[in-house]
């Protein structure tokens, strides 16, 4: 054995002995012995728990939860959408990101949302079938089951199938979001029939049944990915999309693949922070912000995260990372994304040099770039099984109820994720994000995302977290990481008041109660423009405190989610 060890092998062995084993190997054999599920809907949490108790692992539970959310949170995610799954396998210690992001159809083109004068037509990438990318979620379910799960799709999809057939109850959140999209839903016969009641808002407690979606899930259970991307159902999807003004082709569906990518890993306060790789901007921006902030904290000889200086430095680090996001980030299969450079501590040290301790940097004074639209709904869930496998997944159809179009006879609600491309360099989307060449539309390309499923861990803690929230996802996850690395409880990670800056527009967004009056005044005197917005995000997180082997989970009090920690033998 020894004689076959390569030169590299010796170096690796030396590093291992000299620097200490990576934490996951040091921890081999340890397991939380309980399981935890945190999702944005109680029915999805119940589905995850049921599958874990039936002997499934965290990846099987991720299938069950994804499908149940597709039914019960139709405004957030679904079979017609996409997302990113961050997985950790306990036995190998391996982390991997499943990229199930939507792709632009083959007939998409760079200027498809511009009129003859070259002016953007914002509605076209938001409402209706032309806004829909090729979905990734059905392929992700098959991939999870096939490569990572223990159970067959027939078993893991069952709770969602039952839920779709029997119906879920209308909640206040459902009514609020239907109200937001009522016009577009009423215009589409498929959506109108399912999501509205005689064209009006359904009452609280009314049941929303989706028999066509139940049949589509059954077909997926029986035939796997081909049941969705090929054959009769694919024909129906393409037909429905084209009749509604879209440009999908059968080859777009047949050609869709989930891509496994290495996550972006950074280090902060002795923790390893593992997050989403491009085509999400999450991991890169998070690393850039954490590195810059750590440099500034060293320069200050220590920093309280919630002091005026801590908040000022956080804002300045966010500003610069979102500037770089706008310039450099896009689908790595189409453009070269300088991940190493942007996530290196040296690069952050350079950025920190330009940050004053007393004055805000106007965004306009940074080298200009030209950003992409984000919508106000999406979902995140976090799962850990008793063996120590875990999943963070953020999934989306973009806007509430996506494009608003449900393809007849399929129950599939189309996404409007094409809106995440930058339609024209420099033109801000409705959320004020701008984008450049790296995120221009091209056939088959994946639009840039902010979705950031994340792990934060060291020898004492494994944290699993994420949230919806469009452009603010990254800064909310940042808030979660800062709270986690201060050793606070998981209930605080999700509840922590939020603060956000995205380079342009040049303003700091805070929730009511984030800043004291004195802090607000001091930040304004430094030159920050501060706007208070309603609560944002819907974080779902869990923490395995390895010291004492304690599992905790929490659902964001801003949403309607549910988090549970349980023994496998315990009846639900």
Stretch that binds ligand DON, among 193-201, 211-219, 291-299, 465-473 (CB under 6 A): 465-473
By beta-carbon proximity to ligand DON, the closer residue of 119 and 531 is 531
CB 120 within 8 A of CB 114: yes
Answer for which of 99, 316, 374, 509 binds ligand DON (CB under 6 A) is 374
Q: What residues between 436 and 455 interact with ligand DON by CB under 6 A? A: 449-451
Residue 242 makes CB contacts below 8 A (sequence gap 6+) with 129, 248
Residue 376 touching ligand DON (CB under 6 A): yes
What tokens were used for 355?
A: 């940050």
Residue 266 touching ligand DON (CB under 6 A): no
Stretch that binds ligand DON, among 268-276, 427-435, 469-477, 508-516 (CB under 6 A): 469-477
Answer for which of 473, 482, 523, 542 binds ligand DON (CB under 6 A) is 473
By beta-carbon proximity to ligand DON, the closer residue of 52 and 451 is 451
By beta-carbon proximity to ligand DON, the closer residue of 224 and 375 is 375
CB 469 within 8 A of CB 479: no
By beta-carbon proximity to ligand DON, the closer residue of 372 and 384 is 372
To ligand DON, the closest distance from the beta carbon of 252 in angstroms equals 19
Separate counts of helices (H) and strands (E) for the chain: 21, 20
Residue 398 touching ligand DON (CB under 6 A): yes
To ligand DON, the closest distance from the beta carbon of 47 in angstroms equals 22
Tokens 């088959």 belong to 444
Beta bridge pairs of residue 275? 264
Residue 46 touching ligand DON (CB under 6 A): no
Residue 330 touching ligand DON (CB under 6 A): no
CB 275 within 8 A of CB 263: yes
By beta-carbon proximity to ligand DON, the closer residue of 46 and 79 is 79
Residue among 45, 66, 292, 378 flagged as catalytic: 378
To ligand DON, the closest distance from the beta carbon of 394 in angstroms equals 8
Stretch that binds ligand DON, among 9-17, 246-254, 384-392, 462-470 (CB under 6 A): 462-470
To ligand DON, the closest distance from the beta carbon of 538 in angstroms equals 7
Residue 298 makes CB contacts below 8 A (sequence gap 6+) with none
To ligand DON, the closest distance from the beta carbon of 557 in angstroms equals 16
- Helix/strand/coil for 100: strand
Residue 396 touching ligand DON (CB under 6 A): yes
Answer for which of 32, 263, 330, 469 binds ligand DON (CB under 6 A) is 469
Residue 411 touching ligand DON (CB under 6 A): no
Answer for which of 125, 378, 483, 485 binds ligand DON (CB under 6 A) is 378
Tell me how crowded residue 451 is: count the other CB atoms within 10 A of its CB: 31
Residue 384 touching ligand DON (CB under 6 A): no
Beta bridge pairs of residue 449? 280
d(CA 9, CA 4): 9
Residue 375 touching ligand DON (CB under 6 A): yes
Residue 377 touching ligand DON (CB under 6 A): yes
To ligand DON, the closest distance from the beta carbon of 353 in angstroms equals 30
State the DSSP code for 132: P
The stretches of 489-553 forming alpha helices (DSSP H) are 490-495, 517-525
Is 162 annotated in the active site?
no
CB 81 within 8 A of CB 395: yes
To ligand DON, the closest distance from the beta carbon of 337 in angstroms equals 16
Closest by CA position to 75, among listed 379, 434, 343, 461: 379
What tokens were used for 131?
A: 């806004």
Residue 80 touching ligand DON (CB under 6 A): no
To ligand DON, the closest distance from the beta carbon of 10 in angstroms equals 43
Residue 505 touching ligand DON (CB under 6 A): no
Stretch that binds ligand DON, among 240-248, 283-291, 371-379, 503-511 (CB under 6 A): 371-379
Residue 470 touching ligand DON (CB under 6 A): yes
Stretch that binds ligand DON, among 140-148, 344-352, 467-475, 517-525 (CB under 6 A): 467-475
CB 556 within 8 A of CB 495: yes
d(CA 85, CA 80): 16
Radius of gyration, alpha carbons of the chain: 23
* 530-532 and 508-510 strand pairing: parallel
Torsion of CA 508, 509, 513, 516, to 10 degrees: 10
To ligand DON, the closest distance from the beta carbon of 299 in angstroms equals 32
To ligand DON, the closest distance from the beta carbon of 420 in angstroms equals 5
d(CA 465, CA 131): 29
d(CA 125, CA 190): 19
In DSSP notation, 438-502 reads GG---TTPPPPB----EEEE-SSEEEEE----GGGHHHHHHHHHHHHHTT--HHHHHHS--EE--
Answer for which of 127, 218, 316, 420 binds ligand DON (CB under 6 A) is 420
Residue 423 touching ligand DON (CB under 6 A): no
- Helix/strand/coil for 50: helix
Closest by CA position to 52, among listed 380, 465, 390: 390
By beta-carbon proximity to ligand DON, the closer residue of 24 and 101 is 101
Residue 125 touching ligand DON (CB under 6 A): no
Phi and psi at residue 563, to the nearest 5°: -120, 135
Active site residues: 378
**Which residues form the interface with ligand DON (CB under 6 A)?**
374-378, 396, 398, 417, 420, 449-451, 468-470, 473
């Amino acid at each position: 054995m020894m004689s076959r060890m390569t030169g590299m092998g010796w170096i690796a062995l030396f590093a291992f002995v000299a620097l200490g084993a990576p934490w996951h190997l040091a921890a081999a054999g340890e397991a939380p012995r309980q399981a935890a599920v945190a999702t944005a809907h109680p029915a999805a949490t119940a589905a995850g728990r049921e599958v874990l108790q039936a002997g499934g692992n965290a990846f099987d539970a991720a299938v069950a939860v994804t499908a149940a959310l597709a039914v019960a949170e139709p405004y957030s995610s679904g079979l017609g959408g996409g997302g990113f799954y961050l997985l950790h396998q306990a036995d190998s210690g391996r982390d991997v990101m499943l990229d199930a992001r939507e792709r632009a159809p083959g007939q998409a083109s760079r200027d498809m949302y511009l009129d003859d004068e070259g002016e953007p037509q914002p509605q076209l990438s938001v409402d209706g079938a032309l806004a829909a990318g090729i979905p990734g979620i059905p392929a992700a379910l098959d991939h999870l089951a096939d490569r990572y799960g223990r159970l067959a799709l027939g078993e893991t999809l069952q709770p969602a199938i039952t839920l779709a057939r029997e119906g879920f109850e209308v909640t206040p959140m459902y009514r609020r979001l239907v109200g937001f999209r009522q016009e577009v839903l009423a215009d589409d016969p498929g959506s109108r029939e399912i999501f509205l009641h005689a064209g009006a808002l359904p009452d609280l407690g009314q049941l929303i049944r989706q028999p066509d979606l139940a049949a589509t899930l059954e077909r997926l259970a029986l035939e796997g990915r081909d049941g969705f991307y090929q054959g009769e159902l694919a024909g129906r999807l393409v037909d429905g999309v084209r009749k509604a003004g879209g440009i999908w082709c059968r080859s777009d569906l047949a050609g869709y693949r989930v891509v496994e990518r290495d996550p972006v890993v950074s280090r902060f306060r002795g923790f390893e922070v593992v997050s989403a790789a491009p085509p999400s901007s999450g991991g890169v921006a998070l690393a850039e912000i954490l590195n810059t902030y750590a440099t500034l904290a060293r320069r200050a000889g220590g920093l309280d995260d919630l002091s005026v200086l801590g908040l000022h430095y956080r804002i300045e680090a966010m500003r610069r990372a979102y500037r770089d996001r706008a310039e450099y980030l896009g689908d790595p299969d189409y453009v070269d994304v300088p991940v190493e450079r942007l996530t290196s501590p040296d690069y952050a040290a350079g950025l920190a040099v330009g940050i004053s301790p007393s004055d805000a940097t106007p965004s306009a004074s940074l080298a200009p770039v030209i950003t992409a639209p984000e919508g106000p709904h999406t979902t995140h869930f976090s799962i850990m099984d008793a063996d120590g496998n875990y999943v963070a997944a953020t999934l989306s159809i973009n806007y509430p109820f996506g494009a608003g179009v449900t393809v007849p006879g399929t129950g599939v609600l189309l996404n409007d994720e094409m809106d995440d491309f930058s339609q024209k360099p420099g033109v801000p989307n409705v959320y004020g994000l701008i984008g450049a060449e790296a995120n221009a539309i091209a056939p088959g390309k994946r639009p840039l995302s902010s979705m950031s499923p994340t792990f934060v861990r060291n020898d004492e803690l494994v944290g699993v977290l994420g949230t919806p929230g469009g452009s603010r996802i990254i800064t909310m996850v940042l808030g979660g990481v800062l709270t986690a690395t201060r050793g606070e409880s998981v209930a605080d990670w999700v509840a922590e008041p939020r603060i956000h800056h995205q380079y342009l527009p040049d303003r700091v967004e805070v929730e009511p109660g984030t800043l004291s009056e004195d802090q607000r005044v001091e930040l304004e005197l430094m030159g920050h423009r501060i706007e208070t917005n309603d609560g944002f995000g819907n974080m779902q997180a869990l923490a395995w405190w390895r010291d004492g082997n304690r599992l905790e989970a929490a659902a964001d009090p801003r949403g309607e989610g549910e988090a549970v920690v349980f023994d496998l033998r315990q009846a639900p």
